[in-house]
Homo-oligomer: A and B are copies of this chain.
Amino acid sequence: MAIPFTTTVQNLPATTPFVGPETLQRQSGKAFKLRIGANESAWGMSPKARAAMIEALHDSRFYADPESHDLRTALAEQHGVSIDEIAIDAGVDTLLGLLVRMLISPGDKVVTSFGGYPTFNYHVAGYGGDLQTVPYKGLYEDAEALLAATQSLQAPLVYFANPDNPMGTCHPADTVQCLIDGIPENSVLALDEAYIEFAAEGTAPAIDTSNPRVLRFRTFSKAWGMAGQRVGYAIGHRDVITGFNKTRNHFGLNRVAQIGALESLQDQDFLQQVITLNAAARERIMVMAAELGLYAEPSSTNFVAVDVGSKERATAMIAALAEREVFMRMPGVEPLNRYIRVGTCKAEDFDFFQHAFKDSLASL
| Set of chain B residues within 8 Å of A7, measured between Cβ atoms | 105
Partner of A44, one of B40, B61, B254: B61
Q: Interface size for chain A: under 10, 10 to 19, 20 to 34, or 35 or more residues?
A: 35 or more
**CB of A325 within 8 Å of the partner chain:** no
Query: A214 to chain B: closest CB distance in Å?
Result: 12
| Set of chain B residues within 8 Å of A4, measured between Cβ atoms | 103, 156-157, 186-188
A165-205 vs B: 1/0 string, CB under 8 Å? 00000000000000000000111100000000000000000
A61 near B1: Cβ-Cβ < 8 Å = no
- List A residues 17-47 near B (Cβ within 8 Å): 17-18, 20, 22-23, 26, 35, 38, 40-45
| Set of chain B residues within 8 Å of A185, measured between Cβ atoms | 2
Beyond A60-B228, A246-B126, A251-B93, is A237–B22 a contact (Cβ under 8 Å)? Answer: no
B38 near A60: Cβ-Cβ < 8 Å = no
**CB of A256 within 8 Å of the partner chain:** yes
Partner of A212, one of B1, B20, B62, B242: B1
**CB of A16 within 8 Å of the partner chain:** yes
**CB of A94 within 8 Å of the partner chain:** yes
Can you report 9 residue pairs joining A to B where beta carbons are below 8 Å apart?
A6-B101, A18-B251, A20-B65, A42-B61, A45-B60, A228-B254, A229-B254, A230-B253, A254-B254
Q: Is the interface of A mostly helix, strand, loop or mixed?
A: loop
**CB of A255 within 8 Å of the partner chain:** yes
B239 near A1: Cβ-Cβ < 8 Å = yes
| Set of chain B residues within 8 Å of A60, measured between Cβ atoms | 44-45, 50, 53, 225-229, 260
Partner of A90, one of B54, B62, B103, B252: B252
Query: A260 to chain B: closest CB distance in Å?
Result: 7
| Set of chain B residues within 8 Å of A66, measured between Cβ atoms | 16, 18, 20, 22-23
- Bound Cα distance A26, B67 (Å): 11
**CB of A64 within 8 Å of the partner chain:** yes
| Set of chain B residues within 8 Å of A104, measured between Cβ atoms | 6
- Bound Cα distance A50, B247 (Å): 32
A57 near B61: Cβ-Cβ < 8 Å = no
Identify the closest chain B residue to A245 (Cβ): B14
**CB of A240 within 8 Å of the partner chain:** yes
Query: A307 to chain B: closest CB distance in Å?
Result: 27
**CB of A69 within 8 Å of the partner chain:** yes
Beyond A67-B22, A103-B4, A212-B1, is A252–B94 a contact (Cβ under 8 Å)? Answer: yes
| Set of chain B residues within 8 Å of A1, measured between Cβ atoms | 212, 237, 239
Query: A325 to chain B: closest CB distance in Å?
Result: 15
**CB of A63 within 8 Å of the partner chain:** yes
A230 near B252: Cβ-Cβ < 8 Å = yes
Query: A254 to chain B: closest CB distance in Å?
Result: 5
| Set of chain B residues within 8 Å of A254, measured between Cβ atoms | 90, 228-230, 254, 257
Identify the closest chain B residue to A53 (Cβ): B57
Beyond A94-B252, A250-B18, is A63–B38 a contact (Cβ under 8 Å)? Answer: yes
- Bound Cα distance A157, B4 (Å): 9
Beyond A45-B60, A62-B35, A65-B20, is A252–B3 a contact (Cβ under 8 Å)? Answer: no
Partner of A247, one of B12, B63, B256: B12
- Bound Cα distance A102, B9 (Å): 6
B2 near A186: Cβ-Cβ < 8 Å = yes
B62 near A3: Cβ-Cβ < 8 Å = no
- Bound Cα distance A251, B22 (Å): 12
